[in-house]
Structure 1
């Protein structure tokens, strides 16, 4: 089987590697970022809501001239059918430990310190202010009420006059940052405001954004993007459906959201247009790396697009790292999006907080696996239940010119680096109904009586999915429809597929969950040596294949289907030197290390929770940390990513270890080959998975 190595460049984030490891003192605690059940007001008597009238409660906050003024509020009922006037609050609940008492309806009512800060900062000096605040307006001790209120949550935020996004007290340069974003937003909306044509304005704008004097602004914006608020699961729905979002930091509030999206998108576009090997603004890269605000901004932009099972499966993977104390909320928080597409999800999914978590997650599995694998056309492609498209930008670089410039040690000029975006080509992929299995694994087996094939969404995971990192472009099972059945009270999954390769050598785990560049490269070097030491007769050691396997044959920007060829020609010495240089503040990076920094950044993403392995045929594979020799790579019909399975119970049963990447089979080569030879039905077998 022959594999081509791309000779083209693709432009995106350059010359940066973000050290994601923080000291324990700097990390926000989990309880600061999640929804803690409000069990601290058991003595407060709530009057029942009238659900048929879509009743909600609203809290009216009395004015307060100073932050220290005691908080006094009144609680009232209102019907959404009558369009009441109120604002909705989106915030971080915080820890219930050491709450603060406020006065609610002339009675003591305890709130978290995080909510108390928000109320004190957001109340007005000379007038009352009416808000919807979930911790106060929903009786958290009433399961029937919680069941009813979460079903109308999107309506609550959508009908509000505006949504207040409380990101906490002011911090260094936060006021300057908010003023600056407003100014930049005005320039982005009207680039020729100061005179000149569009080309002149774009050049001036880019130069201004690069000015060193703005460094503190980008650092402040980066700090804002890393606040615990962004880890909450419910904010995805709150922001996406919220009316006129206002970002609130300290005593400052501004129509910030649309401006923030335009500025972040502009920075991303500027990085995309950079030439390979050019030094870049590192604070920009740190700001844009895994920016949750940008991801939620896309959900808001596509809010009216129909969404179904495939969207839900992808969104659950995308936001799996978000936090919620009640594990049910990890999926319930996304169900409101399905209502937009009039998807009858309640026929398969029962939202009931008293149900066992396993039962709710089983509903999610059945719903996500219910969508048939259908052929899609380009015109059908966008979001929701339609497949994603990978944009394959064919660059118009002249190969001889590139090589000549490299030999001369010079940087190509703009004409030589011209990119012809008119060659954009969209490639469709139909959704694999069993893609939901890629979120499962043995790490969840035994948790709440979960079988290995059922994803446990309540388990926090920093591992990013292969599908998401690769731009959703792989179809390992071709166009095969799923063949599966659940048995024995939904405890066993019988699924058909093809057993491919057994693991014979498994690399060491990366010891640190958030390794610095040197620690990461140390593990990568050991994997490289393992691959060198154990070539097979049919697959001798090939450096480019090794790197392709480690990065899922993908690039930092999933809209580009290939990475620059320099990644796959990378030698270990260059990578080691770059890792060491990145640990020295202020160290200048040479052009060669620019590409090595890119590779390191991608490796930081792809290696989380994974390690390298070799199959008996010598194929390079990235597998879950729990993998061990003897596990097998399996292609299940209707699943776009390979799974790693393990035999148990004397070899009669199987468990899912997790998803894996196996270089050389990801585009359906094996399944298509068996089809052409008329052997697919003969080779297929049933896997009884527990």
Structure 2
């Protein structure tokens, strides 16, 4: 950046200038007419083309040659001053596309354009919510401004998103429709129908009763809107200089949302905490809101793997957009390594994964990989390459389940190599310790839901406990205190003590006794941890942690007598390994070409470097394919 430049000022050449550069080159080569149709004798020598971000020209036509061929001998004037292009001030629209078809007719620049109903409603709310002069004359909307069927153009525009949204004077967020929903206020319920128009701008922020229940309840209800779950909106919000939200007939600002949803506001207002705990959908929206603020406030470009893992729960329609929907927030080097926009999921995800290996991020990446985290049908991904569309529905990542990390490989350093080429077509070689082999495994792939909407933990527990009791009966357990070992396994050894404690938890000092009390409460169908923002007692803390750790996994015993929580697709004969540099063990499966990564695991008694103390376990290089 040149000295004396204000980083908060928009670029001299705005994003919109690039977006319409091709059009301007075609219109501005005449010294007399701004909209010259090429028939004017005053038109100077020029070529009509579309200028792409990489400097190449597309659809180029020699206008001078065409004119000369039909107007031989005509006098041609020459422009003596440089042409200066100044982009107009514009706003950008952020909204959820929704489902097809694209059958709504729009009139745009005197031409018919077809789009989705969600875009129509967003534009109508944008038009109704502001008086003349209150918003920019030009509005950028992706469905209109990008030819979605042209992958070359889409790739060019995806790479311009950083400039488009950071260059917009305002980003207008349309949170979508509300119909038939209620908000309790005192002894009354307010029922809302769908809004086609808008109320007064900044009605909420101008109120002299910001603490009124209607205001904060509406803010929390906005968190249940699909907008807070979509990947594309992340960069749109993070890059915005000014944001205005449209919801329930009102326009309100980022400052208003922050005054209710910020962490200090939550701590200071117990009523906010109770409202947040009313539904899992609201809680998910709130967690995503906090992630958005974290990304927006990040100093500089965020690590691409850190960025995608932080936003693992955000959804996309096209799987490749889990990567490209975050492009504007990645470094130029990472964008270059990932390559052009493509609809080949295998190519996009493999290039991204190979990039992480070359950057030295393999161990962190493997937490998101494995057969247990797969959702794409008919797509052949290597087991070490994460399927980024499956992250939100898969079990919790063990390495990040608690604030203080595990240390299964102690201080050992990772040794990872791409095999065959820089994209890992032959897999990746990792150095590891081959610990044990799975002897039995008990799975619960589905479980009925309780009244709280959570999977019935008793279904998991009873099957796991039966398998453990059989291990003890056969005298194969390696543990001195079997009851405590099982109790700690269900917690993944997180007892909320020391730095692992959180504000609403209570420490679990005696895991075996707390486990027995929690089991009685589960069987009596008593409260299962839905405590509405209040502090949890020890038993409730145990219930909450056990559901987070054990649900969605299988229970395994090993040939040497260990017990563990393993991926729900683990099989008898799979091997438990510790990859050097990793904090947790993994389950792998031998195949002809190498090993398949099944997924991460918790093995009680092997989480704190115990394997490195064994002299019978020399490091071995295996290839994950």
Query: Fold match, TM over 0.5?
Result: yes
Q: Quick one: distance in 1 between partners of 2:416 and 2:561? A: 30
CA contact (8 A) 1:157 1:238 kept: yes
Match of 2:42 in 1: none
Q: Quick one: distance in 2 between partners of 1:150 and 1:514? A: 41
> What SS does the corresponding residue of 1:534 show, helix, strand or coil?
helix
- Correspondence for 2:230 among 219, 232, 240: 232
Q: Quick one: distance in 1 between partners of 2:477 and 2:342? A: 56
Q: Quick one: distance in 1 between partners of 2:429 and 2:123? A: 53
Give the Å deviation of 1:313: 2.3
2:329 corresponds to 1:337: yes
* TM-score, structure 1 as length reference: 0.65
- Correspondence for 1:165 among 167, 173, 192: 173
Match of 1:50 in 2: 51
CA contact (8 A) 1:435 1:638 kept: no
Give the Å deviation of 1:270: 5.2
Give the Å deviation of 1:555: 7.0
1:659/1:296 Cα in 2 relative to 1: closer, same or farther (>3 Å)? same
> What SS does the corresponding residue of 2:430 show, helix, strand or coil?
strand
CA contact (8 A) 2:447 2:459 kept: no
Match of 1:203 in 2: none
2:549 corresponds to 1:606: yes
CA contact (8 A) 1:521 1:576 kept: no
Q: Which moved more, 1:102-111 or 1:228-237?
A: 102-111
Match of 2:151 in 1: 143
CA contact (8 A) 1:655 1:689 kept: yes
1:528/1:633 Cα in 2 relative to 1: closer, same or farther (>3 Å)? same
Q: Quick one: distance in 2 between partners of 1:465 and 1:435? A: 10
CA contact (8 A) 1:173 1:217 kept: no
1:52/1:522 Cα in 2 relative to 1: closer, same or farther (>3 Å)? closer
1:323/1:518 Cα in 2 relative to 1: closer, same or farther (>3 Å)? closer
> What SS does the corresponding residue of 1:253 show, helix, strand or coil?
strand
Match of 2:254 in 1: 256
Q: Deviations over 1:398-419 (max 9, x none)?
A: xxxxxxxxxxxxxxxxxxxxxx
Match of 1:32 in 2: none
| 1:253-652 matched pairs, under 5 angstroms | 253-256=251-254, 259-260=257-258, 263-266=261-264, 268-269=266-267, 282-286=274-278, 287-288=282-283, 291-302=287-298, 304-308=299-303, 312-339=304-331, 344-353=333-342, 356-372=344-360, 433-442=362-371, 444=374, 447-459=378-390, 461-463=392-394, 464-471=396-403, 473-488=405-420, 490-512=425-447, 516-517=453-454, 519-535=456-472, 536-554=476-494, 560=500, 564-565=507-508, 568=511, 569-572=513-516, 574-577=518-521, 581=525, 594-649=537-592
Q: Which moved more, 1:316-325 or 1:144-153?
A: 316-325
Q: Deviations over 1:294-313 (max 9, x none)?
A: 111111121x24533xxx32
1:151/1:483 Cα in 2 relative to 1: closer, same or farther (>3 Å)? same
Q: Quick one: distance in 1 between partners of 2:535 and 2:257? A: 36
CA contact (8 A) 2:522 2:528 kept: no
Give the Å deviation of 1:98: 6.3
Give the Å deviation of 1:129: 4.1
1:182/1:662 Cα in 2 relative to 1: closer, same or farther (>3 Å)? farther
Q: Deviations over 1:175-210 (max 9, x none)?
A: 9999997489998xxxxxxxxxxxxxxxxxxxx8xx
Give the Å deviation of 1:84: 3.2
* TM-score, structure 2 as length reference: 0.71
Match of 1:654 in 2: 595
RCO higher in structure (CA 8 A, sep ≥6): 1
Give the Å deviation of 1:494: 2.3
Q: Quick one: distance in 1 between partners of 2:428 and 2:341? A: 25
Give the Å deviation of 1:227: 1.5
CA contact (8 A) 1:89 1:131 kept: yes
Q: Deviations over 1:265-306 (max 9, x none)?
A: 1355359xx9xxxx995433344456211111111121x245
CA contact (8 A) 1:624 1:658 kept: yes
Give the Å deviation of 1:623: 1.2
Give the Å deviation of 1:347: 4.9
1:157/1:551 Cα in 2 relative to 1: closer, same or farther (>3 Å)? farther
1:179/1:140 Cα in 2 relative to 1: closer, same or farther (>3 Å)? closer
Give the Å deviation of 1:330: 0.4
Give the Å deviation of 1:434: 2.3
CA contact (8 A) 2:443 2:553 kept: no
Q: Quick one: distance in 1 between partners of 2:170 and 2:498? A: 33
Q: Quick one: distance in 1 between partners of 2:487 and 2:85? A: 58
Q: Deviations over 1:410-442 (max 9, x none)?
A: xxxxxxxxxxxxxxxxxxxxxx63221222223
Instruction: Provide the aligned C-alpha RMSD in A.
Output: 4.1
Match of 2:244 in 1: 246
CA contact (8 A) 2:203 2:250 kept: no
CA contact (8 A) 1:497 1:684 kept: yes
Q: Quick one: distance in 1 between partners of 2:523 and 2:379? A: 41
| 1:154-233 matched pairs, under 5 angstroms | 154-170=162-178, 172=181, 182=205, 214=213, 220-233=218-231
Which structure 2 segments of 5+ residues have no match?
1-47, 57-82, 191-200
> What SS does the corresponding residue of 1:84 show, helix, strand or coil?
coil
CA contact (8 A) 1:510 1:523 kept: no
Give the Å deviation of 1:140: 0.6
Q: Deviations over 1:226-285 (max 9, x none)?
A: 2211221111211111122222103311113563365341355359xx9xxxx9954333
Aligned residues: 513
